[in-house]
Amino acid sequence: MPIYQVLVLAVLQGFTEFLPISSSAHLALAPWLFGWKDQGLTFDIALHLGTLAAVLLYFFRDWIQILARGFGLRHGSDPDLADNPTLLWTIAAATVPVAIVGLLLKDAVETTLRSPYVMGTMLILVGVLIGIADKYGRPQRSLRTVTLFDAMFIGAAQAIAIIPGTSRSGITIAAGLTRHLERSTSARFSFLLSTPAIAAAAAKAMLDLRKLGGIEPGMQLPFILGILVSAVTGCVVIAFFLRFLRSYTLKIFVYYRIIFGIIVFALAIFRGYAE
């Protein structure tokens, strides 16, 4: 796998996983658009691990406090986390929907749902939903007010994100906004909620890779670079996005999704796509 392809895809993963614009659509379509050979399971796992590393590194202190509070211990200084001692268990419960849907639709996600027509549709549809939630939501609630119902509602939205083109962060942030969470709070909870799902996906992928004999010869360097570059890019993007949402709306991402979705449809129709 060429190093330039490794770097492009790893940076693309770091950007698109944490912005509400769909990493699955960008990563699935990039090899098709550039005429690259599919990156394969090994590199996909590297990107999963890089994404996991990004959320664990950026939210390390948050997770320590969440775990401590979940078991009745006082640790950390974030008042939003300190005042919500059940957050660990609400996140755990809210992860169940994506686990169930992921198991039921695993084969479809890896085959028929990777169509550019599906991706284009979800890019536009979810973009519109994000725009509606951003416009009509009343962002006034902080993380300390997140209830089990809020978490399950957002967790159900996360389950939809297994469809390529949806965007895990996009659909869960939109769900948070409909529950009147502040924009930055919706994003923060979205990233915290994504951590168990990303970890489970990475663990399963590692088991699949082990069954196939491990990392194939010549992929060690791309594997390591993929993890490092996507992790560093992801951390930078998370920091930027959370700061961005304190002052701005999601409008620019809504426009991007709709325009990108239209481009995907146009390319699929006029250039052709091998199903």
Write the pLDDT tens digit of every residue in 38-91: 777 788 889 989 999 999 999 999 999 999 999 988 777 788 888 888 999 999
Write the pLDDT tens digit of every residue in 115-170: 889 999 999 999 999 999 999 988 889 999 999 999 999 999 999 999 999 999 99
Looking at per-residue confidence, does 13 or 83 come out higher? 13
Radius of gyration of the chain (CA): 18
3-class SS at 76? coil
Looking at per-residue confidence, does 40 or 226 come out higher? 226
pLDDT at 273: 56
141 beta partners: 181
Region 178-206: mean pLDDT is 93
Contacts of 260 (CB under 8 A, 6+ apart): 21, 25, 123
Query: Sorting pLDDT into bands at 50, 70 and 90, what band is 229?
Result: very high
pLDDT at 168: 94
Residue 8: exposure state from Cβ atoms within 10 A (0-12, 13-18, ≥19): middle
Region 255-265: mean pLDDT is 94
Do 265 and 120 contact (CB within 8 A), yes or no?
Answer: yes
Do 267 and 123 contact (CB within 8 A), yes or no?
Answer: no
Is the pLDDT score of 271 beyond 70?
no
CA angle 131, 233, 26 (to 5 degrees): 50
Is the pLDDT score of 274 beyond 50?
no
Is the pLDDT score of 236 beyond 50?
yes
- Residue 74's identity, in one-letter code, is R
3-class SS at 137? coil
Looking at per-residue confidence, does 216 or 172 come out higher? 172
Do 100 and 159 contact (CB within 8 A), yes or no?
Answer: yes
The torsion region of residue 137 among left (phi > 0), alpha (psi -120 to 50) and beta comes to beta
pLDDT at 275: 46
